[in-house]
């Protein structure tokens, strides 16, 4: 009896939380006519027309450019965060170097409203010619990704037995060689998790996409909103739904594949808050 | 045996420190200077220091206080709702999920969708003519509330935010709940405790540190909300859904009021540090329990 009730509660909760995605998915397969005549869940005549229309590139709307920009900026933001965080994490975990100031400053960034930094960075990017570039957006996403990257990597490295480092040092390896040759392969799973999780976070970021890009480097989250003001005569809900599904799909698929690792890393950041 | 010396540790941390100084340290200094200057888009490079007039103007402005009040209420109410629902779901569903970890996937899926996208999606979901929610409400009850009126928009956003982020609280609580040793539960059952008593007297006290941390994280995220509010209601009817983040964005990009925007940034910076100190103090006191 109570077991059945658990199933009911689970299904209701899962449906309620995923409701917007379900509705958008259903709508994306309806024709323009059907959307206005039948707002319900059942599709009478499924169609791919919305997706085909969205994939068509126009002067104003170019979904491939948005996807490409999101991909490039997220890759830069994730890779750079790893490159910066990994050696620092090694120093923090093994040498306790930076544990008092560096580590808390970065970890607390997770909780600071990043809009605080947005205006000076906007001006800085303007001077440096980084406004509306994939690199500029990628640099911002690096900041977004650093806190969790550092926490995950410090925890992972701290769990590697120190004897490994010591044995390598006896054999005459330099610190750099130990870090890259011994530690990096051992913590590979943590690096992969950091990468996937960082990629999802970066892909989903909106504020800096909105502020720092206008045209050439617009990411998917911002580009999707363009489809809501596409042409005269109000929103075209079919294509708009198709765009939202396409834009939301990459992080959702990554999340589905990696949900176990991701749940661990999310709580890692939270618990160390 | 030390693996490396101090100089080597410093070299390894230098890239990160340099990056932070450039992209965060420099902006803080610029904010500080601009917030006490008379600065416009023309005088960016040679601002005149004018003292605290920006702060005084900001603190005397009704819109700023309204945005602060929105963010504060939004943060507290969503964090409360997410923690209560998340806690109830975690404890109630734990027996179901324990042997079926794949069921965690649909529960976590909302966390993977961009909040900006979720805001856009709800425009469709709640739309008067094409949205299924008003459609079915009309079908079943003959009436549907207006979700984006001055009074309702705030609560619509609360529900939207709660539905997306309850899984986060749920996840934290589920892990904390699973970490309570089974022997404790068995011993209590043998002593004749009811499931409700066990939850109230054993599980909840053990989960208090996690509950505090989850509440703070969700409060901070709710307080600084931007994406889904901006894409769903913009600033709302009559500015009724302007969060502090949106206020700063609008002041800078729409009004070009740089001084006011950076002054508001500094106020937000100080406020978030106050909250962070509280959080760090709490978690350092309770960290042993929270890490379990």
Helix (H), strand (E), coil (C) string for A68-106: HHHHHHHHHHHHHHHHHHHHHHHHHHHHCCCCCCHHHHH
Q: Sort out which chain A residues have CB atoms less than 8 A from B122's CB and list them.
A: 20
Q: How far apart are CA B159 and CA B153, in angstroms?
A: 10
Of A168-172, A268-272, B76-80, B123-127, minimum mean pLDDT range: A268-272
CA dist A196 → A14, A193, A254, B25 (Å) = 23, 5, 7, 28
DSSP sequence for A136-161: HHHHHHHHHHHHHHHHHHHHHHHTS-
pLDDT in tens, B74-94: 999 999 999 999 999 999 999
CA A231 – CA B268 distance, rounded (Å): 38
pLDDT of residue B237: 87
Q: State the greatest distance between any 2 C-alpha atoms of chain A, in Å, as a whole number.
A: 76
Mean pLDDT of B243-270: 91
Give the C-alpha separation, B162 to B258, whole Å.
33
Q: What is the pLDDT of residue A257?
A: 84
Residue B39 has pLDDT above 80, yes or no: no
Query: What's the whole-number average pLDDT of chain A?
Result: 91
CA distance A149 to chain B (A): 12
Distance CA A179, CA A157 (A): 10
Checking if the pLDDT of B227 tops 70, the result is yes
Chain A closest-CA separation from residue B184 CA (Å): 22
Chain A neighbors of B159, CB-CB under 8 A: none
pLDDT of res. A231: 59
Q: What is the pLDDT of residues A8-38, one digit of tens each?
A: 999 999 999 999 999 999 999 999 999 989 9
Q: Name the residue of chain A whose CA is nearest to B278's CA.
A: A273
- In the predicted structure, residue B66 carries a pLDDT above the cut 80: yes
| SS3 (DSSP) at A232 | coil
Q: What is the pLDDT of residues A196-233, one digit of tens each?
A: 999 999 999 999 999 999 999 999 999 999 988 755 56
pLDDT for the residue numbered B38: 81
Which pLDDT tens digit goes with each residue over A175-203? 999 999 999 999 999 999 999 999 999 99
Mean per-residue pLDDT, A144-153: 94
Is 70 exceeded by the pLDDT of residue A267? no
Nearest to B104 among A143, A222, A263 (CB): A263
Separation CA B224–CA B214 (nearest Å): 16
Residue of chain B whose alpha carbon sits nearest to that of A199: B112
Interface test with chain B among A43, A50, A91, A198, by most B beta carbons within 10 Å: A91
Please indicate whether residue B134 or residue B213 has the higher confidence score (pLDDT): B134
User: Minimum mean pLDDT among A145-159, A191-205, A250-264, B4-18: which range?
Assistant: A250-264
Give dist(CA B163, CA B81) in Å, integer: 9
pLDDT at residue B292 tops 50: no
Q: Which residues of B touch A173 (CB under 8 A)?
A: none
Confidence of residue B69 (pLDDT cuts 50, 70, 90): very high
Q: What is the mean pLDDT of residues B271-292?
A: 66
User: Of A194, A87, A209, whose CA–CA distance to A139 is shortest?
Assistant: A209
Q: In the A/B pair of chains, how many CB contacts fall below 8 A?
A: 295
Pairwise pLDDT comparison (A229 vs B108), residue with the higher score: B108
User: Quick check: B287 pLDDT over 90?
Assistant: no
**Residue B228 pLDDT > 90, yes or no?**
yes
Mean pLDDT, to the nearest integer, of A233-250?
Answer: 91
- Amino acid A234: pLDDT: 77
Alpha-carbon distance values, B83 to A40, B88, B89, B211, B214 (Å) = 32, 8, 10, 7, 7
What residue ranges in B47-184 does DSSP mark as E strands? 48-49
From B19, B120, B171, residue closest to A225, measured CB to CB: B120
Taking an 8 Å cut-off on Cβ atoms, the answer to whether B1 and A166 are in contact is: yes
């Amino acid at each position: 009896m109570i077991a059945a009730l658990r199933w009911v509660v689970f299904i209701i909760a899962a449906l309620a939380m995923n409701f917007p995605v379900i509705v958008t998915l259903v709508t994306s397969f309806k024709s323009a006519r059907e959307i206005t005549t039948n707002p319900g869940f059942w599709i009478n005549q499924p169609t791919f027309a919305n997706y085909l229309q969205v994939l068509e590139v126009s002067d104003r709307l170019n979904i491939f450019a948005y996807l490409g920009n999101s991909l490039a900026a997220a890759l830069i933001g994730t890779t750079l965060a790893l490159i910066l965080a990994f050696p620092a994490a090694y120093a923090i975990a093994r040498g306790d170097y930076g544990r008092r100031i560096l580590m808390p400053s970065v970890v607390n960034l997770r909780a600071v409203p990043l809009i605080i930094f947005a205006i000076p960075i906007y001006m800085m990017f303007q001077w440096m010619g980084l406004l509306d570039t994939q690199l500029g957006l990628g640099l911002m996403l690096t900041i977004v990704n650093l806190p969790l990257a550092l926490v995950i990597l410090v925890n992972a490295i701290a769990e590697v037995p120190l004897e490994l480092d010591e044995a390598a040092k006896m054999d005459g390896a330099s610190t750099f060689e130990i870090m890259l040759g011994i530690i990096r392969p051992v913590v590979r799973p943590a690096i992969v998790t950091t990468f996937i999780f960082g990629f999802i976070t970066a892909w989903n970021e909106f504020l800096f996409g909105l502020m720092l890009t206008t045209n050439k480097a617009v990411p998917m989250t911002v580009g999707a909103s363009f489809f809501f003001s596409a042409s005269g005569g109000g929103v075209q809900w079919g294509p708009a739904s198709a765009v939202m599904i396409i834009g939301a799909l990459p992080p959702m698929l990554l999340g589905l594949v990696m949900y176990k690792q991701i749940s661990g890393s999310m709580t890692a950041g939270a618990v160390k808050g | 045996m030390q693996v490396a010396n101090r100089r080597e540790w410093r070299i390894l941390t230098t890239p990160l420190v340099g990056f932070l100084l450039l992209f965060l340290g420099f902006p803080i200094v610029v904010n500080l200077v601009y917030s006490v200057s008379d600065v416009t888009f023309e005088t960016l490079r040679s601002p005149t220091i004018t003292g605290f007039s920006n702060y005084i103007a900001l603190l005397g402005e009704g819109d700023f206080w309204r945005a602060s009040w929105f963010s504060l209420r939004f943060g507290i109410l969503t964090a409360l709702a997410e923690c209560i629902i998340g806690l109830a779901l975690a404890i109630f569903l734990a027996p179901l999920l324990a042997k079926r970890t794949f069921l965690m996937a649909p529960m976590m899926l909302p966390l993977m969708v961009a909040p900006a996208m979720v805001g856009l999606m709800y425009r469709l979901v709640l739309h008067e003519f094409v949205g299924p929610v008003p459609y079915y409400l009309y079908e079943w009850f003959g009436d549907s509330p207006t979700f984006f009126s001055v009074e309702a928009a705030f609560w619509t956003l609360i529900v939207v935010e709660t539905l997306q982020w309850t899984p986060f609280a749920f996840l934290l609580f589920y892990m904390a709940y699973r970490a309570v040793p089974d022997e404790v539960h068995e011993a209590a059952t043998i002593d004749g405790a009811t499931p409700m008593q066990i939850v109230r007297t054993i599980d909840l006290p053990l989960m208090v540190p996690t509950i505090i941390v989850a509440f703070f994280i969700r409060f901070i995220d709710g307080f600084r909300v931007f994406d889904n509010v901006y894409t769903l209601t913009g600033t709302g009817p009559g500015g009724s859904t302007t969060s502090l983040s949106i206020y700063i964005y609008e002041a800078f990009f729409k009004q070009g009021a740089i001084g006011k925007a950076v002054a508001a940034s500094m106020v937000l910076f100080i406020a978030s540090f106050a909250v962070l100190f509280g959080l760090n103090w709490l978690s350092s006191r309770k960290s042993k329990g929270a890490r379990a």
